[in-house]
Amino acid sequence: MKLEQQTFLITGASAGIGQALALALAQQGARVYAWGRNAASLRALAASHANIQTQVVDLTQLAQLRLAVNTLLASTSIDCLINNAGIQHAKQLQDETYGLQDIVDEVSVNLIAPTELTRLLLPHLHSRPQARVLMISSGLALLPKAESAVYCATKAAIHSLSEGLQLQLKGSKVTVTECILPLVDTRMTAGRGSGKITPGQVADEIISELRRPARPILYVGKTRLLPILLRFAPFVVRRLLQTPIAGPHSQSQ
DSSP tag of 184: B
Q: What is the number of helices (H) and of strands (E) in the chain?
A: 9, 7
Q: Which helix (H) or strand (E) covers residue 46, if one does?
A: helix 39-48
List the catalytic residue out of 33, 98, 151, 219. Answer: 151
DSSP conformational letter for 139:
G
What gap in Å lies between CA 4 and CA 2, rounded to an integer?
Answer: 6
**Phi, psi for 30 (deg, rounded to 5):** -75, 155
Question: Any catalytic annotation for residue 151?
Answer: yes
> What is the C-alpha radius of gyration for the chain, rounded to an integer number of angstroms?
17
Query: Which backbone phi and psi does 176 adopt, to 5 degrees?
Result: -125, 130
Catalytic (active-site) positions: 151
